[in-house]
C-alpha cells in the first residue's frame, strides 16, 4: 500500500482528512493509513498527503501512536485538536474526506474545521486502494484464516446433546482467543436445527439435539485483519435430504471458487452459484451475494451480488453460497481466498466434500 494510490485521479486534492468519531464511528481507513495495531483512537484524525502521514491523537493514545514512523500531534482537548487540524489544513482549497465513514454530525464538524475549502469525497479511492492487499496485509489475513480453520475440529468435538447455541458460540470465541486471535472478527453465529435457515441468526438458548444442523459462521481477527468462514455439519446421523442440500452447496461453492483469477468479473462468480442452486430442487433458496471483500472490515469492498467489477491480483474475498429453508434449516459453506494471476490461494482450510456427522 502507498498513500499515492489513494491520490490517483484526485485533481486538485493535496491533503486527505480521515476523522474518527466515538467507538461506533471509527474509520477503519485510519488503521489502513497508520498501520497501528493497538489502541482505539476515538476522536483521532489523520491528515495525509502524497508523501506524508500525520496522526492527531489524544494523550491516552500517544504512546501507541509514537510506535509508528508517522509524525504525531497530541491534543489535551477537543478544542486543541480542532485548532491543530485547522492550522495544518489552512490554505487548502480542496480537501479529501471519506464520506462513507462520517456521520452527519461528524461531517458538519469537519466542515466547520475546514472553513471554505471544498470537501471532496475520496471514499471510492480509499476503497479501491484497500481492495489490493500488500505483503503485510496478506500475512495478517493468512494468520487470521489459520486460527479460524484450526479451531473448527475442537469446536465440533465439544458438541453434546442439550448444549445451547450460546454455549458453543462462547466456546468458539475462547478457542480463537486461546490460539492467537486479537479478537473475534464479529459476533460468532451458531445455528442449531431450523435456525440454520436464518443467514444472520443470533445465538440463543436453542438446545442441540440429534439430527440438528450445526451451522457456524465465525472468524478470528489478527492485528485488525479478519477471517470469515462458515461450516455446516449435522449432530448425529444426517438424513439424505441434509446430505443432498450440502452436496449442492458444496458444488456451487467449488464451481464459483474455481472461476476466481485476475480479470474474471465478480458478477459471473456470483451467477455461477445461483445457476447451480436454482437448477436444483432448491431454486430461490439462496438470497444473498455469494461473497465479499475481506480485510480491515469483515465486509470489505468489493461485494459480489450482481455488481460489475473485475477481480484483481491480491484481492482477498470470501465465497459463501447457501441454501436456506424456513422451518427446516440450511447449509452455508464459506471460505476466504486470495486472487492470483491464474487462480487463487485458499486462505482458510479446504472444506469437507461430504457433510460431517458429529457423534
Residue 81 pLDDT: 96
Looking at residues 188-195, what average pLDDT do you find? Answer: 99
* Averaged pLDDT, 255-283: 98
Pairwise pLDDT comparison (109 vs 17), residue with the higher score: 17
| 254 pLDDT tier (thresholds 50, 70, 90) | very high
Q: What pLDDT digit, counting tens, does each position of 130-156 carry?
A: 999 999 999 999 999 999 999 999 999
Model confidence over 286-320: pLDDT tens digits?
999 999 999 999 999 999 987 889 999 999 999 99
pLDDT of residue 285: 98
Helices (H) and strands (E) in the chain, counts: 11, 20
pLDDT in tens, 156-173: 999 999 999 999 999 999
Average pLDDT of span 191-209: 98
Q: Are 101 and 76 in contact (CB under 8 A)?
A: no
Q: Kindly indicate whether the domain formed by 3-130 is annotated with CATH number 3.90.1420.10.
A: no
CATH for the stretch 135-358: 3.90.230.10
Q: By the 8 A CB rule, do 47 and 54 touch? A: yes
pLDDT tier at 8, thresholds 50, 70, 90: confident
Q: Do 135-358 and 3-130 fall under one CATH topology?
A: no
Among the ranges given (65-69, 111-115, 210-214, 344-348), the one the predictor scored with the smallest mean pLDDT? 111-115
Burial class (CB in 10 A: 0-12, 13-18, 19+), 351: buried
The predicted structure's pLDDT at residue 83: 95
- Mean pLDDT calculated for residue range 177-196: 98
Parse the chain into domains and list their residue ranges: 3-130, 135-358
**E-assigned strands of 250-307?**
292-293, 300-303
Residue entry with cell 471458487: 257
Instruction: Give the pLDDT confidence score for residue 1 in this predicted structure.
Output: 60
Mean of the pLDDT values across residues 196-217? 98
Average pLDDT over residues 334-350: 98
pLDDT at 307: 81
pLDDT, one tens digit per residue, over 54-100 is 999 999 999 999 999 999 999 999 999 999 999 999 999 999 999 99
Contact 58, 74 (CB under 8 A): yes
At residue 187, the pLDDT reads 98
Rounded to whole angstroms, the Cα distance separating 168 from 186 reads 15
Mean pLDDT of the chain: 96
355 and 243 Cβ atoms separated by less than 8 Å: yes
Longest dimension (CA), the chain: 71
The band of 4, judged by pLDDT with boundaries at 50, 70 and 90, is: confident
Amino acid at each position: 500500500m502507498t498513500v499515492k494510490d489513494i491520490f490517483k485521479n484526485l485533481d486538485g486534492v493535496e491533503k486527505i482528512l480521515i476523522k474518527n468519531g466515538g467507538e461506533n464511528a471509527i474509520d477503519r481507513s485510519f488503521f489502513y493509513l497508520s498501520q497501528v495495531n493497538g489502541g482505539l483512537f476515538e476522536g483521532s484524525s489523520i491528515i495525509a498527503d502524497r508523501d506524508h502521514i500525520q496522526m492527531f491523537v489524544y494523550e491516552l493514545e500517544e504512546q501507541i501512536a509514537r510506535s509508528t514512523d508517522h509524525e504525531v500531534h497530541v491534543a489535551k482537548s477537543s478544542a486543541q485538536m480542532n485548532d491543530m487540524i485547522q492550522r495544518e489544513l489552512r490554505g487548502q482549497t480542496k480537501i479529501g474526506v471519506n464520506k462513507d465513514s462520517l456521520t452527519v454530525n461528524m461531517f458538519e464538524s469537519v466542515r466547520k474545521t475546514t472553513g471554505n475549502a471544498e470537501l471532496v469525497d475520496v471514499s471510492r479511492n480509499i476503497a479501491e486502494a484497500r481492495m489490493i492487499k500488500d505483503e503485510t496485509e496478506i500475512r495478517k489475513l493468512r494468520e487470521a484464516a489459520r486460527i479460524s480453520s484450526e479451531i473448527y475440529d475442537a469446536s465440533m468435538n465439544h458438541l453434546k446433546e442439550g448444549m445451547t447455541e450460546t454455549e458453543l458460540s462462547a466456546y468458539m470465541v475462547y478457542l480463537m482467543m486461546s490460539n492467537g486471535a486479537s479478537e473475534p472478527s464479529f459476533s460468532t453465529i451458531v445455528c442449531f436445527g431450523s435456525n440454520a435457515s436464518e443467514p444472520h441468526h443470533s445465538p440463543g438458548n436453542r438446545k442441540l439435539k440429534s439430527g440438528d444442523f450445526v451451522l457456524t459462521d465465525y472468524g478470528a481477527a489478527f492485528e485488525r485483519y479478519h477471517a470469515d468462514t462458515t461450516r455446516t455439519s449435522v449432530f448425529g446421523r444426517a438424513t439424505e435430504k441434509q446430505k443432498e442440500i450440502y452436496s449442492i452447496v458444496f458444488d456451487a461453492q467449488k464451481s464459483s471458487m474455481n472461476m476466481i483469477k485476475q480479470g474474471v468479473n465478480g458478477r459471473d462468480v456470483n451467477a455461477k452459484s445461483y445457476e447451480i442452486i436454482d437448477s436444483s430442487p432448491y431454486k430461490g433458496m439462496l438470497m444473498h451475494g455469494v461473497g465479499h471483500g475481506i480485510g480491515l472490515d469483515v465486509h470489505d469492498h468489493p461485494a459480489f451480488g450482481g455488481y460489475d467489477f473485475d477481480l484483481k491480483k491480491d484481492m482477498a474475498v470470501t465465497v459463501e453460497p447457501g441454501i436456506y429453508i424456513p422451518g427446516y434449516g440450511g447449509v452455508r459453506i464459506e471460505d476466504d481466498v486470495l486472487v492470483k494471476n491464474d487462480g487463487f490461494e485458499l486462505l482458510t482450510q479446504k472444506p469437507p466434500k461430504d457433510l460431517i456427522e458429529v457423534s
